[in-house]
Amino acid sequence: MDRIGFIGLGQMGWPMARRLAEAGYSLTVADAAPGVADRFAAEFKTSATADMAVLAKASDVVITMLPDGKIVRKVVLDAVAPALAKGSVVLDMSSSAPIGTRELGEDLVKLGLALVDAPVSGGVPRAKDGTLAIMIGGEDKAAIARCRPLLEKMGQSLFETGPLGSGHAMKALNNYVSAAGLIASIEALQIGARFGLSPDAMVDVLNASTGRNNSTEKKLKQYVLSRQFNSGFGLGLMEKDLRTALDLAHQTGIQAPFGDACVELWQKAYADLGAGADHTAVAQLWEKLNNLELTPAAKKQAAE
Ligand code: NAD
């Protein structure tokens, strides 16, 4: 059984690392936030360290679950790779940018290390129960084969998407579709509420009709109409994923006018609400524009 290093115990990393600890893997964990790795180690009887070289020396496969690819690159090249034994694997499960992933892969190959990208979808609830969708990119089939048993502990739907970076490309494009679905449904609720429809009833109708999507099913009532805005996926992270998707459009020479409009709206929400807000709080952009708060029974009255 490979020894695992796990870096980044945030909203997603914590429950994902927990799945590995509970499956009996020898695990060394690290996180930049003070006390987090020690808390994890105490709860799940693993090792924790603040020193990435110590983590690297104790690991055959190092998993990163960090905010973005730039942070992954810095942590891996500055601190992890120099201490990893040749033949080890870096498994980046963060939602990183695909071009940066290819570049990192080239740098690591020169050091005798393999990189596999395996970003995830499904959010905190599916990280907790180990049913994430995972998109796996990489040319090194042996490295992927080594990662698969780990990935199977964290995910249910595993897809090999192609060469290195293809998982990250697929993830960014998935989040573009998801982000567009969320704001389209929020806009529809705003229009309907002003007309006199009940937002709560609208969600029921959408979910039984062709407008149904992941946001209508799993986000509108749960996080927006409830006013909880606590899905566990940050607004800043979604905005980053959209930029990644649109960068990819521009890098591949694809015109994406709908995506350009979508990213602009998310960037405006990001500027208004800050990176710390939950991504479902994007609804507040429309609420402010129209002076209409979305509650289960938001009434026409807000038109006044
Ligand atoms: P998060 O902000 O909750 O966690 C990130 C963790 O990384 C934090 O604990 C932070 O302290 C740590 N960190 C940051 N810089 C570090 C460094 N230099 N060294 C060590 N630790 C460092 O983010 P998250 O929601 O867990 O997301 C992680 C990744 O997964 C992101 O790329 C995100 O886009 C992606 N993702 C998130 C979700 C979700 O629902 N939250 C779903 C799918 C994918």
Q: What angle do CA 106, 253, 270 make, to 5 degrees?
A: 80
pTM higher than 0.85, yes or no?
yes
> Residues 6 or more apart from 242 whose CB is under 8 A from it?
172, 175, 176, 179, 259, 262, 263, 266
Among candidate residues 70, 171, 299, 300, the one labeled active-site is 171
DSSP string, 108-127: HHHTT-EEEE--EESHHHHH
94 and 207 fall within a common domain: no
Pocket test for ligand 1, best of 18, 49, 66 (most atoms within 8 A of CB): 66
Contact 183, 193 (CB under 8 A): no
Confidence grade of residue 301 (pLDDT, cut at 50, 70, 90): very low
pLDDT band for position 297 (cuts 50, 70, 90):
confident
For residue 260, how many C-alpha atoms fall within 13 Å in the half-sphere facing its CB? 6
| Cβ-proximal residues to 57 (8 Å cutoff; 6+ apart), any chain | 83, 84, 85
Query: How remote is the CA of residue 11 from the centroid of ligand 1, in Å?
Result: 7
Report phi then psi at 55, rounded to 5.
Answer: -60, -45
Same domain, 222 and 136: no
Select from 164, 195, 217 the last residue of a domain. Answer: 164
End position of a domain, from candidates 112, 146, 164: 164
State which of 110, 133, 164 marks the end of a domain.
Answer: 164
pLDDT of residue 98: 98
171: annotated active-site residue: yes
Mean pLDDT, rounded, of the chain: 96
Query: How far apart (Å, rounded) are the C-alpha atoms in residues 69 and 178?
Result: 20
Provide the domain count of the chain.
2
Is 52 found in the same domain as 91?
Answer: yes
**Pair 126, 181 in one domain:** no
Cα of 301 vs its chain's centroid, Å? 38
User: How far away, in angstroms, is 7 Cα from ligand 1 center?
Assistant: 9
- Pocket (CB within 6 angstroms of ligand 1): 7-13, 30-33, 36, 65-68, 71, 75, 94-95, 120-121, 123-124, 232-233, 237, 241
Non-local (6+) Cβ contacts of 230 within 8 A are 223, 278, 280
Domain range for 129: 4-164
The enclosing domain of 271 has a CATH number of 1.10.1040.10
Do 18 and 57 have their domain in common? Answer: yes
Which pLDDT tens digit goes with each residue over 236-256?
999 999 999 999 999 999 999
- The mean pLDDT value for 16-27 works out to 98
Question: Residues 137-158: pLDDT tens digits?
Answer: 999 999 999 999 999 999 999 9
